[in-house]
Chain A
Amino acid sequence: MTDRTYGTRLPGLPKEIPAGKLIVVEGADGSGRTTEVALLKEWLEVEGHAVVDTGLRRSDLVSGEIDQAKQGHTLAATTMALLYAADFADQLENKIVPALSAGSTVLADRYIYTLMARAIVRGASREYARQLYGFALRPDLVIFLDARAEILLHRSIGKYGSLDYWESGMDLCLSRDLFESFFLYQALLSREFEWMSSEYAFHAVDANRAPETVHEEVQRLVAPLYGRRFVAPRRPPESPPRSVSRVPRRAASA
């Protein structure tokens, strides 16, 4: 149905609304996104839901070319944005839509929003990015893991031993210094995510906290999609109640 896309209907999309749920986890590199996706997948499967997980740049069609282009820095901004869009369309049509049609839950580790943010900070207009990805399916839930740049920095260093060239936006020539570029780039991305947050109804989750705490809040957001009201809190056996650390229920957007 048209209202499940962002305005542009894909030719050949099944007429009926795909039955499965589409849940997106967005957030910067180091926001704990991948960890959360794994935890969420595990939990949903334990609860009896079939889950297909998907990420960016994993399609058979152009991932090789994207790697190649990244190495040579050969493509200009618009070209790169279109190449990423082609890659996303391939995954949407060949992986996401079939899985949803089969009734599976699709858990997307990043979605069009990251692609849009990257394209915009590299010079595309917000309007261009929005319309380019107008064919994307509207998710049932978008969780945005919101973490401070300092936290991202430490996790990034912990993970790679240093800072990643692309995640630091070095191709933008914001600064010759990797460390400085990282902060400038994250600030630019953050500004775009902020705009999209209201535009695309993100549910922001404070990701400066421990993974278990983040996961509990995510569970609370996901449960209603399956007609549930509460997530049973996991109680560690024979430990004193830790009511202090329990985050009180509050508005999802921070």
Chain B
Amino acid sequence: MPDTPSPNHGFPGRLFVFEGLDGSGKSTQAALLGKWLQSNGYRVFFTEWNSSELVSNTIRRGKKKGLLTPTTFSLLHATDFADRFERKILPPLRAGYLVVCDRYTYTAFVRDAARGCDPAWVRTIYSFAPRPDRVFYFRVPVAVTLKRKLSSRLKMNYYEAGMDLGLSDDLVESYERFQGRLKREYDRISTTDHFRVVDATRPVESIQAELRKDLKPMLANFPTGERLMHDG
């Protein structure tokens, strides 16, 4: 039976995006949602914002040598995203899968804007990526993410803390200020880009329930199929 094309991008699949600051809990929620969709018999494809080998080597080397400027940083991440999009996101979308993306172009929009790139320019270079069927934005105060970050043993990295911007010599202070910029940018585009804003300070279970309830109507007539799960 032919799938109904998405009104947003015209492909038979659906694209669900999870956005938010590091430590907002979006990855946990994306994984749980994927499990649920899969257990309901849908064809699900899950993908994360991790780099393809080709470009990640460059990004790593560039970061190490301090060679990256906001523009090259932006373009290399766009290259990386384009590669992943063309290989991993587009094929399942065309094949009629429910594609769950842990981060999408919006991550680049807010990060590049925080680094001073022209937002309109950044949007154009990502114009090949279609509009998702739903964007969940996990909204959380920076202080909460910082607490989660400091209590876990995850190391805070140089670029994640925006140290390249020279906001502060102190890693934690720079992190707070940079993440604050990202949050303001996320908040700003949340209306224009029609984000479904999720209060991410709430318990995991209640957030998950909210997401499932939100997507249910959209999935009402969506065909189920083989149970396939790929690692993005």
Give residues in A with beta carbon < 8 Å to B: 7-12, 60-62, 64-65, 68-69, 74-76, 78-79, 82-83, 85-86, 89-90, 93-94, 128, 131-132, 134-135
Min CB distance B129 to A, Å, is 10
Q: Do B54 and A89 have beta carbons less than 8 Å apart?
A: no
Classify the secondary structure of B's interface with A: helix
Q: Which of B68, B79, B121 contacts A131 (CB 8 A)?
A: B121
Asked if B62 is an interface residue, CB under 8 A from chain A, the answer is yes
The answer for the CA separation of A18 and B118 in the assembled complex, in Å, is: 20
B102-124 to A contact mask, C-beta < 8 Å, 1/0:
00000000000001111011001
Known: A79-B82, A128-B124, A135-B121. A93 touches B55 (CB 8 A): no
Surface stretch bound by A, among B33-41, B43-51, B69-77: B69-77
Chain A residue numbers with a CB within 8 Å of B68 are 61
Q: Which of A9, A62, A93 contacts B118 (CB 8 A)?
A: A9
Q: Do A65 and B57 have beta carbons less than 8 Å apart?
A: yes
Chain B residue numbers with a CB within 8 Å of A64 are 58
Q: Do B83 and A62 have beta carbons less than 8 Å apart?
A: no
Q: Do B117 and A11 have beta carbons less than 8 Å apart?
A: yes
Known: A65-B58, A74-B54, A128-B127. A82 touches B67 (CB 8 A): no
Asked if B86 is an interface residue, CB under 8 A from chain A, the answer is yes
Chain A residue numbers with a CB within 8 Å of B78 are 82, 86
Min CB distance B73 to A, Å, is 9
Going nearest first, the 9 A-B pairs with the smallest beta carbon separation are A11-B116, A86-B75, A82-B79, A131-B124, A79-B82, A8-B121, A76-B86, A79-B83, A11-B70
